[in-house]
């Protein structure tokens, strides 16, 4: 294989900004007999209902540590499935694979390792997709996957993705959307509710997830630039800035810790966010930062933010899409409201602040009812 780090533009090729991934091949370290389809479903449901955390900071940290060691092609990364069994996942870094898009053969190369998160409904759906009877079954809530890049085997190089929008354009969008948000009744209402209902909560950091990129170049079918996702992202970051300002005022501080985890950020996003006091952090650091003294925000996430947070912490304040009854078992949602998420939310007071749904989806504010932080039991379960 040639130099896969070459990222010089290749003339005449259009590439994309969106992220693509490929799962690694995983197998139980000590394979036993695979369960039947019914048994597999029953195991997932039983463990989920028992409250055993599927996501733990310990496993996230452990897998991140392994990834940071930069394993090479053929090395193994170890994870654990939800039953606690050790699972070995094979690193495919540098492997080139073929796939077909609309009758065109394409090639991609496996590159950076990142974590993938499977919610309870995803694990159940995965059973259906696997050929039955299973040859092997390892229901992993957290496993490694590779980011993939389009590959040109003639030049043995990566076909570069489309770059971000121009800094000036994105700065202007962010300024306009910030102005629009600041002038909205929802902004005022959010600050008023926080000041009255979260005034006694000990809060020391703010962590946002999945706020999207403001600088992505996406196109409509007619070739015109698709602006809505950038506008939504800009509006959501403007809300984040309001939270920072509110914290500064409340605690008479010059600086507030504010992190944002979003794999789609470009250098343009990072520059703009840095200037307003938002530190971009890589996955999975965000989950590890979340604790009982945090404000957590997540909007329309592609990963099961709600289930992850429900397993690892009880933040003081949460802003995310209204928790309802969509547990994802039938609907195929990426961030479902599972029974555990619904149970967690019983410990929170819901506050409406009425942001524009076009820009924010149906997000609401949740403030923990108890000012004192609840502590998990020794096996990580929250009361």
Ligand X SMILES: C[S@@+](CC[C@H](N)C(=O)[O-])C[C@H]1O[C@@H](n2cnc3c(N)ncnc32)[C@H](O)[C@@H]1O
Residues at the interface with ligand X (CB under 6 A): 209-212, 229, 232-233, 236, 261-264, 283, 299-303, 361
User: Which is nearer to ligand X, 246 or 259 (by Cβ)?
Assistant: 259
Question: Residue 285 Cβ, how far from ligand X at the closest point, in Å?
Answer: 10
CA dist., res. 234 & res. 104, Å (int): 35
Expressed in angstroms, the distance from the first to the final Cα of the chain is 53
CB of 259 to ligand X, least distance (A): 11
The tokens for 206 are: 């703010």
At its nearest, how many Å lie between ligand X and the CB of residue 308?
A: 9
User: Nearest to ligand X by Cβ — which residue?
Assistant: 212
CB of 232 to ligand X, least distance (A): 4
Q: Per DSSP, which regions of the chain are E strands? A: 20-23, 25-28, 76-80, 86-90, 96-101, 104-117, 142-152, 157-158, 205-209, 218-219, 225-226, 257-261, 279-281, 294-298, 317-321, 348-351, 363-368
Residues whose CB is less than 8 angstroms from the CB of residue 350 and which lie 6 or more positions away in sequence, other chains included = 322, 364, 365, 366
Q: What's the rounded Cα separation, in Å, for the pair 113 and 26?
A: 14
| Dihedral sign of CA atoms 309, 311, 317, 323 in order | positive
Identify which of residues 157 and 235 has a Cβ nearer to ligand X in the complex: 235
Which of 174/209 has CB closer to ligand X?
209
28: Cβ–Cβ under 8 A, 6 or more apart, which residues? 81, 85, 86, 87, 88, 136, 138
Please state the closest distance from residue 216 (CB atom) to ligand X, in A.
Answer: 9
Classify 118 as helix, strand or coil.
coil
Residues contacting 125, CB < 8 A, separation 6+: 332
Please, which residue, 83 or 361, has the CB nearer to ligand X? 361
In angstroms, what is the minimal distance from the CB of 366 to ligand X?
Answer: 17
Q: Is the dihedral of CA 35, 36, 39, 43 positive or negative?
A: positive
User: Based on CB atoms, which residue is closest to ligand X, 24 or 236?
Assistant: 236
For residue 77, what are the β-bridge partners? 89
Nearer Cβ to ligand X (40/308): 308
In whole angstroms, what separates CA 125 from the centre of its chain? 19
Task: Choose between 4 and 17: whose C-beta lies nearer to ligand X.
Answer: 17
CB of 118 to ligand X, least distance (A): 12
**Is the CB of 186 or the CB of 210 nearer to ligand X?**
210
CB of 231 to ligand X, least distance (A): 9
What span, in angstroms and rounded, lies between the C-alpha atoms of 297 and 64? 22
């Amino acid at each position: 294989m040639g130099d896969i780090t070459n990222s010089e533009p290749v003339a005449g090729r259009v590439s994309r900004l969106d992220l693509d991934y490929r799962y690694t091949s995983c197998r139980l370290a000590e394979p036993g007999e695979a369960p039947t389809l019914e048994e597999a479903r029953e195991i997932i449901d039983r463990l989920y209902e028992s409250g055993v955390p599927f996501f733990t900071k310990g496993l996230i940290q452990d897998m991140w540590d392994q990834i940071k060691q930069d394993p090479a092609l053929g090395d193994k990364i170890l994870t654990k499935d939800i039953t606690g069994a050790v699972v070995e996942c094979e690193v495919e870094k540098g492997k080139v694979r073929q796939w077909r898009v609309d009758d065109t053969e394409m090639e991609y190369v496996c590159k950076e390792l990142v974590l993938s998160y499977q919610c309870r409904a995803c694990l159940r759906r995965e059973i259906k997709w696997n050929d039955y009877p299973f040859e092997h079954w390892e229901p992993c809530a957290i496993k490694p996957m590779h980011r993939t890049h389009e590959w040109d085997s003639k030049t043995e190089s990566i076909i570069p993705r489309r770059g971000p929008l121009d800094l000036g354009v994105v700065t202007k969008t962010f300024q306009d959307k910030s102005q629009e948000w600041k002038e909205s009744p929802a902004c005022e209402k959010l600050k008023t509710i926080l000041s009255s209902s979260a005034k006694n909560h000990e809060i020391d950091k703010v962590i946002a997830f999945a706020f999207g990129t403001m600088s992505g170049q996406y196109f409509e079918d007619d070739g015109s630039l698709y602006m809505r996702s950038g506008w939504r992202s800009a509006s959501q970051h403007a809300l984040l800035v309001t939270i920072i300002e509110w914290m500064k005022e409340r605690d008479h501080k010059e600086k507030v810790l504010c992190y944002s985890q979003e794999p789609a950020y470009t250098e343009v996003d990072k520059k703009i966010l840095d200037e307003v006091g938002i530190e971009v952090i890589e996955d999975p650091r965000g989950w590890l930062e979340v604790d009982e003294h945090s404000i957590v925000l997540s909007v329309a996430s592609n990963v099961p933010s709600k289930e992850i947070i429900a397993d690892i912490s009880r933040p003081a304040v949460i802003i995310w899409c209204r928790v309802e009854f969509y547990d994802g078992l039938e609907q195929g949602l990426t961030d479902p409201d599972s029974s555990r998420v619904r149970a967690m939310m019983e410990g929170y007071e819901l506050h409406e602040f009425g942001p524009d749904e076009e820009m924010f989806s149906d997000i609401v504010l949740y403030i923990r009812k108890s000012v004192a932080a609840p502590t998990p039991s020794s096996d990580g379960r929250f009361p």
